[in-house]
Amino acid sequence: MSTFWKMDIGATVLDEGGVRFRLWAPKARKVSVHLLSGQARGLQDLTQEEMGYFSATISGCADGDLYLYRLEEGDERPDPASRCQPEGVHGPSKVVDASRYRWDDENWRGMPLEDYILYELHVGTFSPQGTFDGVIERLDALLELGVTAVELMPVAQFPGGRNWGYDGAYPFAVQQSYGGPEGLKRLVDACHRKGLAVVLDVVYNHLGPEGNYLCCFGPYFTDRYRTPWGDALNFDGPHSDAVRHYFISNALYWISEFHLDGLRLDAVHGIYDFSARHILEELACEVHRLAQQLGRPAHIIAESDLNDARLIRPRLLGGYGLDAQWNDDFHHALHCLLTKEKGGYYRDFGAFSQLAKAYREGFVYSGQYSEFRGRRHGNDASDCPPRQLLVFCQNHDQVGNRLMGERLSTQLRHAPLRLAAASVLLSPYLPLLFMGEEYGEQAPFLYFISHGDARLIEAVRKGRAEEFTAFDWKQEPPDPQAEETFQASRLDFGLKKQGRHARLYAFYRELIRLRKQLPWLRPGDCRNLRVRAQDEVLLLLYGDPCRLLALLHFGPEPRSPELELPPGRWRKILDAASPLWGGDEEPSPQWLDCGEEKQPLRLPAFGCLLYEKDAGNPLPSESRGGTP
């Protein structure tokens, strides 16, 4: 555990023995801790401090003891900063000795953000066990694929045993059914030993509706702003200093006590703060300060639908200084070209020029009028380094928030699936894969819960149905409370060894291998990639002078357009139409001899070609992307 930062809220086991309890409860005049087990069993009053805090150090209390906080009215509640909820969101909290785990990752020094190839997974559906240990058993498969970072969907304690994780009610407590805090530490340790970074999805825009007792203690929420989940968290009103401290402590907790390499901040457009120093800026500063002390990077990646480059601009330029943010525009532009969908927010997309702009500038909407929103949207991110934007063709939201949770692999044939993969992995941005996409998983990823309140369950059912009214989806959505909805979302990892799934998997592996090996494919300065768009063909020119060129053809029929290609002799190193990857079309030329004039080049339907300039220094022989 880090000696640079110590958590000062919750229950802390002291080196000299005993446990220090500290709680922010400005609404209370008196608070006691009720120890339900251990040598110190019984009630112990806490001493009131300044600014609404209460604390006490209790000798005889130790790791594993259960406790609740008793307020003056006699109500007993779990600890808002609980490290463990062994009996669920309504049960007692458990004292956890953060120094007990013996780490084996002392040689891990993290990795720079530009080396990240992220793999997003949901712990409960990724393996048959549905636990952190189940993920550990599949880490070698992720190494074989070639990804460099695991991104975990939220693991904060949620009600029941089935949930996406965004209904977490205890930000510091690790979901018990996944393996609790010890299980998460084993997973992070195992990843680091294998050279994989770990990013955790955290939720600082709301708490889940069941088991959320924060309002009993203090003004954690405010009705001055509204979010899709109800009242906003109080980051800028009276008493907000302690609320800010609570969530910044949570971020530091994950980096320090769990050795995490980064945090993905969920839906920061639901975080409202009009103070002079935005909570996101303060959080990023504190995390980066701790990372510097620890001697390893810690990255903050935001999910945002604002298209606001201020999130990732340096503080000296008026930004918040976050390391990266998700770019939904890239996904929407790509998705609409391949599927032709136009419902909901997809109504703003579908033009070929939009994907070209996404490659050139990042955001498609950088101040233009959005028909879906009924207003202008976004600002310019073209001056931001590509490593600060994260792109994907699938993720948990874009799959799971469809009515039937269907993946691209059930919507598209394999040629456009390969093109989608190439579009992401050959982009100048940080790529993210969603679990199972690499082999064309057929199981849906549905929305599932396991709440205990019948009225809440019905409200969720109704709310999910209303979310789909903007789309042209006519069926009834699966019941999110039903266990079969969860079971239907489990991966079938065995598919990756079968037929067309195996060939798609091999194609993903080759794309990742090339991305790692070719320096021109590493996220670098925008000037290193030039983008030309012509007749449903994107021509990507890497390097200055050009050393690598990619041709992405989004047409459903083969064609031979006349293209202006850079002069020189070019050798093909990847052809998505090759039988190696499941293609069945006539291969394109192995060599191109280009002069100053345009020349016709045969492009397969939904084709992807990658050519390297012949400089007498070819790629190793294992690159088999040409004609077999």
Angle between helices 499-517 and 414-425 (to 10 degrees): 20
At CA 98, angle to CA 94 and CA 99, rounded to 5?
140
Catalytic annotation on 303?
yes
Question: Is the CA virtual torsion 387, 107, 126, 258 positive or negative?
Answer: negative
Residue 464 buriedness (CB in 10 A; 0-12 / 13-18 / 19+): middle
Residue 558: C-alpha distances to residues 424, 565, 606 (Å): 22, 19, 8
Residue 36: C-alpha distances to residues 23, 24, 43, 81, 229 (Å): 18, 21, 9, 18, 33
How many Å apart are CA 628 and CA 621, to the nearest integer?
12
Residue 257: C-alpha distances to residues 156, 294, 391 (Å): 15, 12, 29
Q: Hey, how many other C-beta atoms are within 10 angstroms of the C-beta on 115?
A: 15
Q: How many CA atoms lie within 13 A of 34 on its CB side?
A: 14
C-alpha closest to that of 520 among 539, 548, 540, 545: 548
Annotated catalytic residue within 189, 282, 303, 328: 303
C-alpha closest to that of 333 among 533, 563, 610, 546: 533
Catalytic annotation on 483?
no
Annotated catalytic residue within 79, 120, 189, 266: 266
How many Å apart are CA 572 and CA 548, to the nearest integer?
10
The 3 state secondary structure assigned to 32-70 is EEEECCCCCCEEEECEECHHHEEEEEECCCCCCCEEEEE
How many Å apart are CA 495 and CA 122, to the nearest integer?
18
Active centre residues (catalytic): 266, 303
